[in-house]
Amino acid sequence: MIAQILVDGITSGAMIGLGAIGLTLTYGLLRFANFAHGEFATWGAYLALLVAGAIGPADPLGPLTFGWPLLAALAASMVLTALLAAALDGVLFRRLRRHGSAITLVIASFGASLALRSALEFGFGPQPWYYTRDIAMTVRLGPGMRATWDQLAVLGLAIVLMLAMHLLMTRTPLGRAMRAVSENPDLARLAGIDPARIVRVTWLLGGALAASAGVFLGVTVQLRPSMGFELLLPLFAAAILGGIGSVPGAMLGGLIIGIAEAASVPLAGAQYRAAVAFVVMLAMLLVRPSGLFGGRGG
């Protein structure tokens, strides 16, 4: 039972963590809470559905329910969603940043979120979609511990993406520049870093990672227009838990939220799952508003 909670919690926690990385980065860099971030996950999932559909069917890979077309679609959708995120910044947020306050940006992002989601709902309808209708095969990992092969594959891919992100942030000049701008934009500019470029890169990365979270959610659950919006509260909770601006914090926060959600199911029932993130977040704000990894909250 406990073991099963861990398996479920870790898989969904990995997806929350992936989505929260982009959220915490834009939050730390631009100092505003982007309510449209969840929609990047939704759009990522649906864009992958379109691409995979265009490629056509293929044999599933081993025990998985999907084949190589979905992997290609994942890559394509990450690129497309990254462009969508950068475009949203260019059309809306960048202009508002120039004269509006941070809070005007939050309102605008709330509006963008509803518009993006409703546009998808108009296009695809409110009913759920699936990448395939195949039944997912499960494996026994230990006593009382089962996972689908899909879950394991998604978890593996998520870990690879997180590791890549971590290396990017710590080992490359680009990552160092991103952290420099986030900590002190003026100083970074003096050091010859172009903040506008860093902002663009942050949107691209955040959008791409959110898209991957959306595709993974689509593989393991289903696609619905509200999937990303429902992910938003866990994403914020993970970002606050880990400390705004901290990439490892977002991953750890995602994991904690995922496990807390899974653990709540036997206690309160699946229907209150989304409230768990809220409760964990409130508790964190009461005890340590700056998050586990410092950050700049409070």
**How many residues bind other proteins, per CB under 8 A?**
47
Q: Residue 146 CB, nearest distance to other proteins (Å)?
A: 27
139 binds other proteins (CB under 8 A): no
Torsion over CA of 248, 151, 72 and 198, rounded to 10 degrees? -10
Cβ neighbours of 165 (radius 10 Å):
23
Contact residue for other proteins among 4, 104, 132, 138 (CB under 8 A): 104
264: which DSSP letter? H
135 binds other proteins (CB under 8 A): no
Q: Is residue 42 within 8 Å of 213, Cβ to Cβ?
A: no
CA–CA gap between residue 5 and residue 247 (Å, rounded): 25
Q: Is residue 179 within 8 Å of 45, Cβ to Cβ?
A: no
DSSP 185-207: HHHHHHTT--HHHHHHHHHHHHH
Site string for other proteins, 52-81 (x = CB under 8 A): ------------------------------
Q: Is residue 249 within 8 Å of 162, Cβ to Cβ?
A: no
CA–CA gap between residue 154 and residue 268 (Å, rounded): 27
Nearer to other proteins, 74 or 120 (CB): 120
Contact residue for other proteins among 35, 131, 203, 293 (CB under 8 A): 35
CA 61 to chain centre: 25
Q: Which stretch binds other proteins (CB under 8 A): 170-178, 194-202, 250-258, 282-290?
A: 282-290
32 binds other proteins (CB under 8 A): yes
Backbone angles phi, psi at 9, to 5 degrees: -65, -40
Nearer to other proteins, 107 or 139 (CB): 107
294 binds other proteins (CB under 8 A): no
Start-to-end CA span in the chain (Å): 37
187 binds other proteins (CB under 8 A): no
| Amino acid (1-letter code) at residue 219 | V
Q: Residue 118 CB, nearest distance to other proteins (Å)?
A: 4
Contact residue for other proteins among 285, 288, 292, 294 (CB under 8 A): 285
CA–CA gap between residue 282 and residue 10 (Å, rounded): 22
Q: Which stretch binds other proteins (CB under 8 A): 27-35, 168-176, 178-186, 259-267?
A: 27-35
274 binds other proteins (CB under 8 A): yes
Q: Residue 123 CB, nearest distance to other proteins (Å)?
A: 8
Ramachandran category for residue 269: left, alpha or beta (phi over 0 → left; psi -120 to 50 → alpha) = left
CA–CA gap between residue 141 and residue 6 (Å, rounded): 12
Site string for other proteins, 228-247 (x = CB under 8 A): -x--xx--xx--x-------
Contacting positions for other proteins (CB under 8 A): 32-33, 35, 92, 95-96, 99-100, 102-104, 106-108, 110-112, 114-115, 117-119, 121-122, 125-126, 225, 229, 232-233, 236-237, 240, 269, 271-272, 274-275, 277-278, 281-282, 285-286, 289, 297-298
